[in-house]
A and B are shown apart, each in its own frame.
Chain A
Amino acid sequence: MDLLNLKRITDYEWELPKQEDMIVPGMIYGNTKIIDHLKEDVRLGKDWNALKQIANVACMPGIQKCSIALSDVHPGYGFPIGGVGAFDTEEGVITMGGIGFDINCSVTTLKTSLKEEDIRKNAKSLLNSLFKIVPAGLGSTGKVRLNFHQIDEVLTGGAEWAVENGYGEEKDLEFIEENGRVKEADPENVSEKAKQRQFKQIGTLGSGNHYVEVQYVAEIYDQEAAEIYGLKEKDVVVSFHCGSRALGHQIGTDYLKKLAEVTKKYGIKIKDRELVCAPINSEEGQKYFSAVCCGINCAFANHEVLTHLIRKGFKEVFPDGELPKFYSIGHNTCKKEYHKINGKKKLLYVHRKGSTRAFGPGREEIPKKYRKIGQPVLVGGTMGTCSFILCGTEKGMDTTFGSAIHGAGRAMSRKRAKRQYRGDKLLKELENKGIYVRGHSMAGIAEEAPGAYKDIVNVVECMDKSGIAKKVVMLKPIINVKG
């Protein structure tokens, strides 16, 4: 297979031509910098490379239009990270490789009525207050205690469950993807083990690249969109990133094994073992989809409990501070969505691995307040650089099934980052730049060094220039609590 011969469509759109067993071509959204990095992995003969993974996904039964990689693309397991694959409901499959272990890992952004200078004056006390109140780091347990019956309610109720139980507010729900609850979740399809693992983990952040960050609007690119989103220069927002915790991990584990058997049973040919799958219209496929929906709801509930805790932490420093929800979106999902294929509306199962929904203007899934301009896309950066809020576009609907990037994307392995950076030194450097960071592990901080990631400005620029999602504002960090 010739993975190096990519066809340039525009400066920001590249096609991996259909060859051998590929049913559809691959499409990559990035500039030469990103494309060259991908090709380099192939040339070096690395054990895992994203171009091969894009081609592998293109070989899966029932895939529609093309196998997509967005500008934050890097090697994953099964799908590449930054990957999108949409499948036909009759001939298509649902695959573990397109969802992964951290189901519905999401970013939530809360607004505040504060300005940058308000935070600067109280940065250290706010950092400590958030650090104390948000359970984070490996093995941390939450303050919410559940029994078996209650955990089923979390899995079916999602963020609604949280609100009913005193975490978060009713008016938050409108501003969460899917309004904080997907309907197809049946806890029967989730193992006892998964539920046992989750008991104490509701309302915990996790570790690694999971964080809570206090940010301010540093630059506005699109005045009209920013106005509709209610964002002004120097406005302070709080963003956090975490997923479905151990429940999602165990659903992934359980179905990895089950789907391996199912793939064999139906004689489905896959190019990478991690792409184990089931026909969508089979009993097994629907069970997995339902379990994934449970994971999605669990992440929604988790985010709502964390929203509650962050609001509490903020109140300790800013007693009058209100933190209304701006928006919440997830990656690592499979969603049932309508899209146009050859001019006709068609129901599809869209996998987004390390990529998010980015619906264009007018879609009814978008909160009324934002509908005119398109769905907010929350792009988490690294702690030393910046994050972005983009908006979905018509072009994205036509080309990427309404999907965009989820973050900067790593450029360096954790191992290399640890060799190259030191946690304590990094903290000092960041503090000199006016960014206050506190984490549970120094090694963890080194692994998350800004230099270990792709240049987020370039990654976002590729989305904007290709027209997949448009830049609205840039956010810069002041405070970061690392998991």
Chain B
Amino acid sequence: MEYELLEHEADIGIRGYGNMIEEAFENGAKAMFSIMIDLETVESEKNVEITCEAPDIEALFVEWLNELLTKKDIKEMSFSRFKVKIYKDDIYKLEGTASGEKFDQKKHKAKLEVKGASYSGLKIGKKDEKVFIQCIVDV
């Protein structure tokens, strides 16, 4: 399993799995975009660079997701593939890429808008030999 959507009455919990934390970040992004669009309909025509930083790895996950939401709106794009590298200095830093194409409400089967990723339900864990990271997103 790459990712999972978790039950939450008002909003939605998202969880990304991976062998490494980077992969969990990538799959977490997929989980979030799967709420908004049909990932399989999006072609990787353009890459968008994402950088962000945070004092801890959990907060970095929220930063990463929120930065993707910002870029999606400003560039009017749909994303479906993600690549992440994480460095640790005195704080955690992320360099990533999001691939996708110009947003198309029909083609991408637009569904529900995600307004923001929150610190609620935010945690890292392990399940079936894989690492996961999760949080609640506001829809």
Contacts and interface: CB of A to CB of B under 8 A. Distances in A.
B76 A139 contact: yes
B15 to A, nearest CB: 11
B9 A137 contact: no
Contact of B116 (A48, A101, A411, A412): A101
A464 B7 CA distance: 31
Interface string B81-102: 0000000000000000000000
Contact of B70 (A77, A102, A250, A440): A250
Q: Which of B11, B12, B74, B122 has the most CB of A within 10 A?
A: B11
B5 A415 contact: yes
A444 interface: yes
Q: Which of A138, A201, A413 has the most CB of B within 10 A?
A: A138
B69 A414 contact: no
A138 B118 contact: no
B112 A260 contact: no
A74 B11 CA distance: 10
A256 B118 contact: yes
Interface residues of A, number: 51
Contacts of A354: 10
Interface in B1-25: 5-13
A201 B74 CA distance: 11
B138 A447 contact: no
Contacts of A260: 55, 59, 119
Interface stretch (A124-132, A268-276, A469-477): A268-276
Nearest to B5: A415
Contact of A78 (B12, B66, B76, B118): B118
Contacts of B8: 48, 75, 413
B26 interface: no
A16 to B, nearest CB: 19
Given A193-B74, A246-B73, A77 B111 contact: no
12 contacts: A137-B105, A138-B111, A138-B112, A197-B73, A250-B70, A273-B119, A410-B10, A411-B9, A414-B139, A415-B7, A440-B110, A441-B110
Given A411-B9, A447-B112, 17 more contacts: A76-B10, A76-B11, A77-B119, A78-B120, A101-B115, A101-B116, A207-B112, A248-B115, A253-B66, A253-B116, A257-B63, A260-B119, A273-B120, A273-B122, A413-B12, A415-B7, A443-B112
Interface of B: 5-13, 36-37, 54-55, 59, 62-63, 66, 69-70, 73-74, 76, 103, 105, 109-113, 115-122, 136, 138-139
Interface of A: 47-48, 74-78, 81, 97, 100-102, 137-141, 193, 196-197, 200-201, 206-208, 246, 248-250, 252-253, 256-257, 260, 272-274, 276, 354, 410-416, 440-441, 443-444, 447
